[in-house]
Structure 1
């Protein structure tokens, strides 16, 4: 894994950027597979954009329920999109696929002591499959993704870009710049956008750059606007991103966040989700685990 946090012995920005961009294309979801999902009819027989978006929102809820990191969520979404883009799965198998991608991400990014047991994860998410189903599905996912887990996600690019820009703006006062370009706020925006299928088709570096530019535009800080604009332009040139592409994705980010703000759904990082259940319900959930019927055999058909 390529660390992007600053510290003693940390590679330079240029070295980290090259390492991430070199890997980016190899971990990108297959575009032809995503287009098939995009054009699928919502008839209960095929994977659709709506089903994918609902599953990602469930993964966001689980991330907040367990208090897992943004990195875990972003990696889970990356794994899910990559798998859906190369495999034809039926909607009834999506919850198992999604939870397995989430579990792989959890085991890859969280401390071992914080990793829940698979059967507890199944009960909390109230899915209708068993641990053996998860084990079998996890093996399929890992094989189809060639055991490549640690993808260069948009979040990793965003953190790297933010750190670099803070260094560029340090002459203005680091604390003040953090208020202008809040990493926490941008991570929340990124998570909200992950729930929209359209961003699955966009390169992580471009996606992260668009979120960064959107945040800079929304702050309307005349005192620092010139310096921020100069730093963003320099970064855009390093990434070889065209003005038209950046403008288009930045508008998609703005549209997505506007829609997200007007819907009656949980907003990332506003409050941690708490699920409170009675002792009776808890006993029923635990007991019901042993009554769960196995899923039908999952056909391994690729696009």
Structure 2
């Protein structure tokens, strides 16, 4: 039985944090599997970190194409990384694996009426496999992940941390930590393989610290830093780990801002659909864009 993602339940922060931390370790991708991918030569014979990054960027574009939520995308990335870390797949199967992880995430988080048919999803993403291929792959993925879908993603941690920190700030300081901007930054990080090896709680905290230290108003920075320091102590995370992660995030966002990164695979994003499918799609589906621009301000 699939354990689907449920909506946030009103409970004290300490209880939410404990529940998420208890689950976090159980849903981490297998580190040895990720290192195997990282060390692979890009010769078309083995799964590599570059291929994984391209697939995640395609999933992000699909997310925006259908207007799906950030939860769907983050969960799809979590499923993909978990599966890739336990199975040595061939590059030719990656698009099927990626789309299946995306489909599982969408069915777990979106309203049923908004979930597209598998056939339409295949056609819009311009893949060549069949619905039967996709259903078989979906079963393999779920079996290898023990039918466990409800992972505590970095997005979930980010939202819980953001809400908790804002409770400790005044109105002016609150404006600095824009959740929209933070979520956009997290999506950029998901597109980089290096963050697959990082615990979601550490990534979420480091993103908040990175954003806070990008603010130059000492008065507001002191208030936010104090709140984040208290949160870091609750998580028992070392200063060195946060500093190292902030540097990685800064490097990732700088690369993300380049033209090359924003257009990872232009040809793949030119979807071709039939007249029948076009008539079934919502108007918003035609707003195809590349990776979203991270907001410049915290307004």
Q: Above 0.5 in TM-score?
A: yes
- 1:65 touches 1:275 (CA, 8 Å); kept in 2? no
Match of 2:274 in 1: 282
Do the aligned residues in 1 keep the contact of 2:106 with 2:115 (CA within 8 Å)?
A: yes
Contact 2:59 2:99 in 1 (8 A): yes
**How far did 1:239 drift?**
0.2
CA separation in 1, counterparts of 2:150 and 2:186? 18
| Structure 2: gaps spanning 5 or more residues | 264-268, 279-299
* 1:48 corresponds to: 48
- In structure 2, what is the Cα distance between the partners aligned to 1:229 and 1:119? 49
* 2:60 counterpart of 1:68: no
Contact kept, 8 Å, 1:158 with 1:208, in 2: the verdict is yes
Q: Does 1:225 align with 2:221?
A: yes
How many equivalent residue pairs?
269
| Structure 1 unaligned regions, length at least 5 | 268-273, 287-303
Alpha carbons of structure 1 residues 203 and 112: separation in structure 2 relative to 1, 3 Å: same
Q: 1:285 Cα shift?
A: 9.0
Distance 2:94 2:45 in 1: 12
Name 1:210's counterpart in structure 2: 206
- Higher-Rg structure is 1
CA contact (8 A) 1:81 1:200 kept: yes
Counterpart for residue 23 of structure 1: 23
CA contact (8 A) 1:29 1:201 kept: yes
> 1:180, 1:221 within 8 Å by CA — same for their partners in 2?
no
Do the aligned partners of residues 3 and 256 (structure 1) sit closer, same or farther apart at CA in structure 2, a change above 3 Å counting? Answer: same
Q: Secondary structure at the match of 2:219?
A: coil
C-alpha displacement at 1:219, in angstroms? 2.0
Could you tell me how far apart the structure 2 residues matched to 1:2 and 1:150 are?
Answer: 8
| Contact 1:72–1:109 (8 Å) recurs in 2 | yes
TM-score, length basis structure 1? 0.85
Q: Does the CA contact (< 8 Å) of 1:193 and 1:253 recur in 2?
A: yes
Tell me, in whole angstroms, the C-alpha distance in 2 between the residues paired with 1:132 and 1:185. Answer: 39
CA RMSD of aligned residues (A): 1.9
Report the secondary structure of 2:83's partner residue. Answer: helix
| DSSP 3-state at the match of 2:148 | coil
1:82 paired to 2:78: no
Q: Secondary structure at the match of 1:223?
A: helix
